[in-house]
């Protein structure tokens, strides 16, 4: 899978320092290793008919990152008050080696929260931490992926996320690298009606 990167507060320079470079290189190789065929396979064999490939990409990323030693759904705080069952509000999508990762395919209204979670995980806090990271990575969809992947129009794509950085600069105090996933090369998602719902169908290019 192809992608582009955008560095906030010199994140990419820091991630290429010896402390982070091996795991950072591994992350990039993992993303690059995701093939169109792999996405198609998981999308077409999912238990539920989805509108976009967002859940599929999330699933494939989770399988590969956990296999590489990343911790999925890592709690930020130790206090059980912040960790109710099935509530992911105070959890990172992935964490490991002092790095927070958020996969931001959700509604545009959640952009600020997706940006803030790596900051909370990396800064000291009045609540006892379960994890302490130093830098964040946000994986998101580019505008071309949002269109070709069948994503909902309300999803906050990379180009929109970038517009949040200057207004929130005084709040986003830690370095964050953005990885914007580009569209598949061999297919796109088209929508078709099944009952009252729109579902996604693979359309080979």
* Positions of the chain with pLDDT under 70: none
The predicted structure's pLDDT at residue 132: 94
Helix (H, G, I), strand (E, B) or coil at 180: strand
pLDDT of residue 88: 86
CB 200 within 8 A of CB 43: yes
- Residue-number span of the structural domain to which 53 is assigned: 3-204
State the total domains in the chain: 1
Question: Which three-class secondary structure state does DSSP give residue 115?
Answer: helix
**Residue 91 is part of a domain; what is its CATH number?**
3.40.91.20
Task: Give the separation between CA 166 and CA 176, rounded to whole angstroms.
Answer: 13
pLDDT of residue 197: 86
């Amino acid at each position: 899978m192809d992608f582009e990167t955008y560095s906030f507060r010199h994140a990419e320079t820091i991630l290429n320092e010896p402390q982070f470079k091996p795991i950072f290189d591994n992350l990039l190789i993992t993303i690059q290793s995701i093939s169109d065929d792999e996405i198609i396979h998981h999308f077409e064999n999912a238990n539920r008919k989805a509108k976009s490939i967002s859940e599929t990409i999330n699933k494939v990323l989770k399988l590969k990152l956990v296999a590489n030693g990343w911790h999925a759904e890592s709690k930020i705080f130790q206090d059980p008050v912040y960790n109710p069952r099935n509530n992911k509000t105070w959890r990172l999508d992935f964490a490991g080696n002092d790095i927070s990762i958020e996969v931001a395919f959700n509604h545009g209204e959640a952009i600020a929260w997706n940006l803030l979670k790596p900051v909370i995980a990396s800064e000291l806090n009045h609540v006892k931490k379960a994890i302490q990271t130093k830098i964040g990575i946000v994986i998101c969809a580019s505008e071309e992926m949002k269109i070709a992947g069948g994503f909902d129009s309300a999803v906050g794509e990379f180009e929109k996320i970038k517009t949040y950085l200057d207004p929130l600069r005084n709040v986003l105090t830690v370095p964050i690298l953005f990885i914007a996933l580009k569209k598949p090369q061999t297919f796109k998602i088209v929508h078709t009606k099944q009952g009252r719902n729109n579902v996604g169908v693979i359309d080979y290019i």
